[in-house]
C-alpha cells in the first residue's frame, strides 16, 4: 500500500486478551459513577513527616486501608448479586490492584489481589505490594494473581479459546459471587494518577461491584477556616453497583471514606 510510511509490528501481549474480555463484561454493569475531590493536605504532610523520621509509608497502601475500613463498615457496597433475589455480603475484603511485573524481561501491568485487607496493617499491605512487584514471571502464560499461581495449562487454553466461549466463561464468573471473589476480589483500585500527572478524573470500566480510579494529587486554592490556602487535592472516580446498593447508602459510605482520608486516619 502507498503513502503509509515507516512502521513496525510488535507482538500483541497475550495478557491483553483477558483485559479486553473484562472490559466488554464491565460495560454491562449498572454502575453509579461519582467524581470526587479529596483534600489530602493533612495526610500528605503527615506522611512526609514520617519519611523525614525514616519511617516509610506509601500513600497508596494507606489509601487502600482507608477504603478497606469503609467497606468493612458498609459491607453492602461490595456485595455481589446472587440470582434474582439474593446478594452475598462478604466479611473479608479482597482488593484487586494493578502492578507492573516483568514477563520475559518486559514490564507488563497485571492484576494482583490483596486478600483480607481489612485485617492487615498499612505496613502489611505495603510489603505485600512490594513483594508482588518483585515477582518474576518466566513464561508469557504463567501469571500470578496475588499469591495464587494460576494453572499454566488452563490459562494457555483460555487464550486460545474463541471470543464467544471466553464471554461465556466470564458470564459464569460474574454471576457467581464466590467465583468472582476467588478470582478477582470484590473491590478494584487502579492508580493511574500515581504513574503520571492527570489533572482530572479517570473513567474506568470494571466488573467489580466497587471500583476506585485514583487520579493525581494536585495543588490548587482551597478554603480553610474562611481563608484561601494552597491545598493538595486527590481526584478520585468511584463506581458503585446500583443493582446492589442505592444512592443514599453509597453516599454515606463515600462520606465515611472522605472523613478517614481528609483527617489522615491512623497517621497522627
Domain of 206, in residue numbers: 15-262
Question: Model confidence over 202-221: pLDDT tens digits?
Answer: 888 899 999 999 999 999 99
Q: Please indicate, yes or no, if residue 33 is contained in any of the structural domains.
A: yes
pLDDT value for 122: 93
How confident is the model at residue 141, as a pLDDT? 43
pLDDT of 79 higher than 60: yes
What's residue 12's pLDDT? Answer: 75
Per-residue pLDDT at 7: 77
Report if residue 3 sits inside a domain.
Answer: no
Dihedral (Cα; 117, 128, 192, 244), 10-degree rounding: -20
In a domain? residue 138: yes
Neighbours of 187 (CB within 10 A): 26
For residue 148, pLDDT beyond 50: no
Q: Let me know if residue 9 belongs to a domain.
A: no
Binning pLDDT at 50, 70 and 90, where does residue 61 land? Answer: very high
CATH number for the domain spanning 190: value is 3.30.559.10
Contact 114, 64 (CB under 8 A): yes
> HSE on the CB side for 170, CA within 13 Å?
25
Burial (Cβ within 10 Å: 0-12, 13-18, ≥19) of residue 59: middle
- pTM, full prediction: 0.85
**Residue 245 within a domain:** yes
Number of domains in the chain: 1
* pLDDT tens digits for range 220-257: 999 988 999 999 999 999 999 999 999 899 999 999 99
Residues 6+ apart with CB under 8 A from 260: 66, 69, 70
Phi/psi at 131 (5° precision): -65, -40
Give me the pLDDT at residue 3, please: 78
Q: Supply the pLDDT for residue 187.
A: 97
Contacts of 72 (CB under 8 A, 6+ apart): 93, 118
- The answer as to whether 150 is a domain residue is yes
Q: Contacts for 16-23 with beta carbons within 8 Å, 24 or more apart?
A: 17/159, 17/166, 18/158, 18/159, 21/163, 21/166, 21/167, 21/170, 22/170, 22/205, 22/206, 22/207, 23/205
Vertex 128: Cα angle to 126 and 129 (nearest 5): 65
On the question of pLDDT at 10 being above 90, the answer is no
* Higher-confidence position of 225 and 120: 120
Q: What is the pLDDT of residue 84?
A: 86
Whether 35 is covered by a domain: the verdict is: yes
| HSE-CB of 204 using CA atoms within 13 angstroms | 27
Amino acid at each position: 500500500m502507498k503513502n503509509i510510511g515507516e512502521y513496525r509490528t510488535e507482538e500483541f501481549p497475550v495478557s491483553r486478551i483477558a483485559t479486553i474480555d473484562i472490559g466488554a463484561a464491565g460495560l454491562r454493569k449498572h454502575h453509579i459513577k461519582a467524581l470526587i475531590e479529596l483534600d489530602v493536605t493533612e495526610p500528605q504532610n503527615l506522611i512526609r513527616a514520617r519519611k523525614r523520621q525514616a519511617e516509610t509509608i506509601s500513600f497508596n497502601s494507606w489509601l487502600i486501608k482507608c477504603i478497606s475500613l469503609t467497606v468493612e463498615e458498609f459491607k453492602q457496597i461490595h456485595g455481589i448479586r446472587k440470582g434474582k433475589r439474593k446478594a452475598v455480603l462478604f466479611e473479608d475484603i479482597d482488593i484487586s490492584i494493578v502492578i507492573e511485573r516483568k514477563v520475559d524481561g518486559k514490564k507488563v501491568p497485571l492484576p494482583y489481589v490483596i486478600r483480607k485487607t481489612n485485617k492487615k496493617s498499612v505496613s502489611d499491605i505495603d510489603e505485600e505490594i512490594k513483594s508482588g512487584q518483585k515477582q518474576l514471571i518466566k513464561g508469557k502464560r504463567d501469571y500470578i494473581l496475588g499469591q495464587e499461581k494460576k494453572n499454566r495449562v488452563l490459562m494457555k487454553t483460555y487464550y486460545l479459546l474463541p471470543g464467544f466461549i471466553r464471554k461465556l466463561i466470564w458470564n459464569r464468573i460474574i454471576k457467581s459471587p464466590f467465583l468472582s471473589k476467588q478470582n478477582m476480589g470484590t473491590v478494584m483500585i487502579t492508580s493511574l494518577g500515581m504513574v503520571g500527572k492527570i489533572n482530572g478524573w479517570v473513567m474506568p470500566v470494571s466488573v467489580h461491584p466497587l471500583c476506585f480510579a485514583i487520579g493525581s494529587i494536585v495543588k490548587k486554592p482551597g478554603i480553610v477556616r474562611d481563608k484561601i490556602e494552597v491545598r493538595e487535592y486527590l481526584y478520585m472516580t468511584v463506581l458503585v453497583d446500583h443493582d446492589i446498593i442505592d444512592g443514599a447508602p453509597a453516599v454515606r459510605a463515600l462520606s465515611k471514606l472522605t472523613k478517614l482520608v481528609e483527617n489522615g486516619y491512623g497517621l497522627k
